Structure 1
Amino acid sequence: MPTHKNKRQTCIRTNNTLVVCSIGNPFKKGDVAKIILRFNPEGLEDYESHLKFVVFANSTSEEKKPQGPLELFTNVIRRAEVGLTGAVRPEQVFYGGEVKGEYAMEYRDDIGSRVLHSYQVTNKGPWRVSSLVVSIEWPFQVGNDKPQGKWLLYLDEKPIVETLDSWECHLPDNEVNPLGLPQRPGLAEPPLEALMTQPSNHTRTKRDTEMVITAEAFVGKDGRRQEMVNMVSVQLHHYQ
């Protein structure tokens, strides 16, 4: 949008990379023209880090000191407001009930109550994210004085990712149902989605009397002493 003495002149885009602006005929001595151009960057590729603009002026009149093209560079700054929210049902899981060792586990329901972790990733823009990685470190085992720690959260199914774009979920080897436990025949286990409406007072069974867990002890509202382990780690990385 060029302006010249409060008068708007005309700019014409001749092709995808060239804009021609007529700033006056004649353009008198001492005149000043201000040209404002606005561009929509949505067509930029993610690998483009800067843009180059070439500005030049020409006239049908003879120029005494002609000036060559002026090159201007501008950096491309992409901003994306990426957010991560999470929920777990039930919110707290306590140890208790009959003590069982690892070799006594025959079916998945022998392990204990099911726990559902769900995470939602959002991008409020204004720019898209070319590559996004969500890293989830769950409390796999609790360390003690034994070569192998005590099971804490047992991953019995591969994570599910719901998205419109392509995705990949990478897990270390033998992390999904490492004991190979099947579902108990004839037992219809409720789907994980049903946990979203269940109360959060479930218990989880102990599995090894020789492995002692150092947990945080507290007294509940009912006056009973409880022990709880809190360990959650979620990391979000996005790359341009």
Structure 2
Amino acid sequence: MKEIFEWSRVLWNDLPAVFLLEVLFRSVVMFVVLLIALRLVGKRGVRQLSIFEVVIIISLGSAAGDPMFYEDVGMMHAIMVFVAIIGVYRLVTWLMAKSIWFENLIEGKAIYLIREGKFAFDDFKKESLSQDEFFAELRVRQVEHLGQVKCAILETNGDFSVLFYPDEEVRPGLPLLPDEFCRKSPEVQHPAIYACAFCGHTEMLAPGRHHCPVCAHEEWVRALNTRRIA
């Protein structure tokens, strides 16, 4: 029968000291695996924290939790995990400070989703972000149509930064309100400025069917030109 506070078991769990090297190896491998997995999930999956910070939190939390509950996990092994993770953390942060390329590799880049009141089409389609989700984020920021937005950026922590046009520079843009957006149609009924329902491109259209010159889609919705309500 095992005794409590049997220090050789509590600290080492009857494993040789050389096992610490294997723990070190396992910690580094799992850290890299976590980093890659969360990098693949994308920025929106770890909103508010950078991917690197999430990996650190998960790694330290796992290392701290197991020896609290499982008697077959030695405390010294958990301490080695902490040492390995902190060592990797300091190395990675040092490399990020020295190399922009390495920083972009680990944490990604800030991505423009809107430029000059229109979708940054090539960048937007690279992100695992639905149009409806993005519209909801903009509506929370009191945006009624894309013509009010000078640029919108998806930051490396998954949050959005939105910069607005001054009132006098607001232009016609794709409406974001559900009632307005649902009026999209491939058939233009009246001459007016319309916005492509897919990419936000705006132009004056005559009655009839038209293909968007930017994305080749053919659904249009009448553009709005209202100023933003602060």
Coarse TM-score class (shorter-chain normalised) = under 0.3
Quick check: which one's helix share is greater?
A: 2
Greater strand proportion: 1
- Between 1 and 2, higher relative CO (CA 8 Å, sep ≥ 6) is seen in 1
Choose 1 or 2 for highest CA Rg: 1
